[in-house]
Structure 1
Amino acid sequence: METGIAQEVTAGDCTDLYYIDTGMYETDEYGAVYVLESERPAVVETGVGANYERILEAMDEIGIDREDLEVIAVTHIHLDHAGGAGLLAEACPNAEVYVPSIGASHLVDPSRLVEGTKQAVGDRWEFYADPEPVPEDRIVELEDGDVVDLGDHELRVHAAPGHAPHQVVFEDPANDAVFTGDAAGIWVPKLGEIRETSPPSNFDLEQCLEDVETLKAIDPDVLLYTHFGPRAVGDDASAALERYAKVLREWVSEIEDKRDELEDDEAVIEYFADNAVPVGPWGDRAVRAEARMNTRGVLGYLDHR
């Protein structure tokens, strides 16, 4: 798909829903942002901030005036999901920012979030914009079980803390769809494959597997991945999600075995970077960087298990 262009989601029976490839990390099919053209218009996820103008341009294309946007919702505060929240809020003066309560203060004062992100992503920080603080009076804190009323749609909030303690997923019952954040892994549409995501410092395998069970219980027709894009699963949602659980278990096991073999964590990290499997349209730099980050996350989990 073309970067920055609003694409209608045609998976399943979705209506009023669009997605935009923001060109995150200057890579195609890496980061998606969703726009719901509902009675109370909403943006779900905001990308790294550097390309937030593409979201505004897509809203213009869809026909949503900036003053009419009411909801900016993020599944969690990692800056590849929430980095553009403050910038969008500044551009859309009537929108409130809906964020899991445990992470809300980090959008008001993102300084510690920036520091942690720089440690996690290394030299890929060059692709991020410094996040704009979100005014505290425009934050709406979310808890498990909350519902964001969009009129003809709603976002039902389900806690999904395995990837990060501040993560939720949003169920859109009218579309029989779920905005998965990182709870269902990374979907590579050109390959038809699901890949792991296990960044430092809060990755927790057992809780990630619980999150998969949460998604199975919702049993959506469509999975809306931030990384990347809509995926119709129909009656096979449980099987598709169980595939991700298997990928996670195998990934953690491989790293644990390699650590036992090499007995040096930096060597383990470089091993998985050197042997990273190509991912569709992603370049070599992106693939190696993801492998390093995900390996560090698992090593931290093994230390604290």
Structure 2
Amino acid sequence: MEETLTEVTTGDCSDLYYVDTGMYDTSGYGVAYVLDAERPAVVETGIGTNHERILEALDELGIEREELEVVAVTHIHLDHAGGAGFLAEACPNADVCIPAAGASLLADPGRLVAGTKSAVGEQWQYYVEPEPIPEERIVKLEDGDVIDLGDHELRVHAAPGHAFHQVVFEDPVNDAVFTGDAAGIWLPDREQIVETSPPSDFDLEQCLEDVATMKRIDPDVLLYTHFGPRYVGEDLEDALEEYATVLSEWVETVEAKRAQLEDDEAVLEYVAEATELADAWSDHKARAEAKMNVRGVLGYLDESA
């Protein structure tokens, strides 16, 4: 088995591990977390490919499939929720905790698959069709809910800027927040934060509100799905404000380039050529990510207009 399980010792975190799911055939891009709590939980599930890595991590931690009690996702984009149905099938006693706004789309994922194909374009080659999740297994999450894990809990905070169905999970015992995509994409080797603005629900103003939400929670550790734990401590406000600036400047850049080129396809190609993230992931992934993020901003600008 490829060694993918890593213990999180950042800040005061305990009972927490992450698995590099190798999504898009890229290491260092997507993780799933395992909380080895009294009621064990998996947070985030990847795109479905390589979901066996998460099951192997449970085995390594001595968590029997029947003992997993919670599978929780921050939102229903398939790079976060695509593996949930596979885990539900393998772990028959686990509740699948999904933001209520998107839960029906994981119970019957046909429309979600069609929307994902439109959003990710050529990246669909890396996905698998998600397994439908039986409705009786789904727990619908609302802002303010708490997922009780015994010696840990996950407090649910709405964060709908990246997608209308997104939440973040606060783990007070670990003084940490599972950020989903609300805090951007963290490149630990570079110590760099970059934007994420996919179609079709990206909303800049609401993203900035979500940043404010995380400031109010005030964790010491940010647990990024893309990619891994980051200690921020007293620098939390600066770290989150940096993302607000990155995101705002990104939208301004796309808007200015659209005005200059007067052709959206030309904007997509320009930004894909200009990306500097090829050495962080791969040239193919970096270009596809850039185009997806541009499409999200262009849609946002059209809606704003």
Tell me if TM exceeds 0.5. Answer: yes
- On the 8 A contact 1:199/1:294 being kept in 2, the answer is yes
- The letter for the 2-side match of 1:204 is D
- The letter for the 2-side match of 1:253 is E
Provide structure 2 residue ranges, at least 5 long, that are not aligned to the other structure: none
Structure 2 counterpart of 1:31: 30
Structure 1 counterpart of 2:190: 191
2-side partners of 1:3 and 1:144: how far apart?
Answer: 37
Query: Which runs of structure 1 show a deviation greater than 6 angstroms over 4 or more consecutive aligned residues?
Result: none
DSSP-derived class of the 1:104 partner = helix
Give the alignment of 1:118-267 within 5 angstroms: 118-267=117-266
- On the 8 A contact 1:222/1:230 being kept in 2, the answer is yes
How far does residue 5 in structure 1 lie from its aligned partner after superposition?
2.0
Percent identity of paired positions between Structure 1 and Structure 2: 71
- The letter for the 2-side match of 1:56 is L
1-side partners of 2:203 and 2:80: how far apart?
Answer: 19
- The letter for the 2-side match of 1:230 is P
Structure 1 counterpart of 2:87: 88
1-side partners of 2:2 and 2:116: how far apart?
Answer: 24
Query: CA 1:97–1:187 in 2, change beyond 3 Å: closer, same or farther?
Result: same
- On the 8 A contact 1:4/1:54 being kept in 2, the answer is no
- The letter for the 1-side match of 2:143 is D
1-side partners of 2:2 and 2:12: how far apart?
Answer: 24
Listed one character per residue, the Cα deviations across residues 133-165 of structure 1 (whole Å, up to 9, x for unaligned) are: 000000000000000000000000000000000
Q: TM-score scaled by structure 2? A: 0.98
DSSP-derived class of the 1:198 partner = coil
2-side partners of 1:4 and 1:287: how far apart?
Answer: 25
Query: CA 1:220–1:290 in 2, change beyond 3 Å: closer, same or farther?
Result: same
DSSP-derived class of the 1:106 partner = helix
- Indicate the RMSD between aligned Cα atoms, in angstroms: 1.0
2-side partners of 1:279 and 1:242: how far apart?
Answer: 25
Listed one character per residue, the Cα deviations across residues 24-76 of structure 1 (whole Å, up to 9, x for unaligned) are: 11101000000000000000000000110000001101111100000000000
The reply to whether residue 98 of structure 1 matches residue 110 of structure 2 is no
Query: CA 1:279–1:216 in 2, change beyond 3 Å: closer, same or farther?
Result: farther
- On the 8 A contact 2:97/2:141 being kept in 1, the answer is yes
Listed one character per residue, the Cα deviations across residues 90-136 of structure 1 (whole Å, up to 9, x for unaligned) are: 00000010000000000100000000001111121111111000000
- On the 8 A contact 1:4/1:55 being kept in 2, the answer is no
DSSP-derived class of the 1:212 partner = helix
1-side partners of 2:173 and 2:37: how far apart?
Answer: 11
DSSP-derived class of the 1:29 partner = coil
2-side partners of 1:96 and 1:178: how far apart?
Answer: 20
Provide structure 1 residue ranges, at least 5 long, that are not aligned to the other structure: none
- On the 8 A contact 2:13/2:175 being kept in 1, the answer is yes
1-side partners of 2:248 and 2:276: how far apart?
Answer: 17
Query: CA 1:155–1:76 in 2, change beyond 3 Å: closer, same or farther?
Result: same
2-side partners of 1:232 and 1:216: how far apart?
Answer: 14
Structure 2 counterpart of 1:276: 275
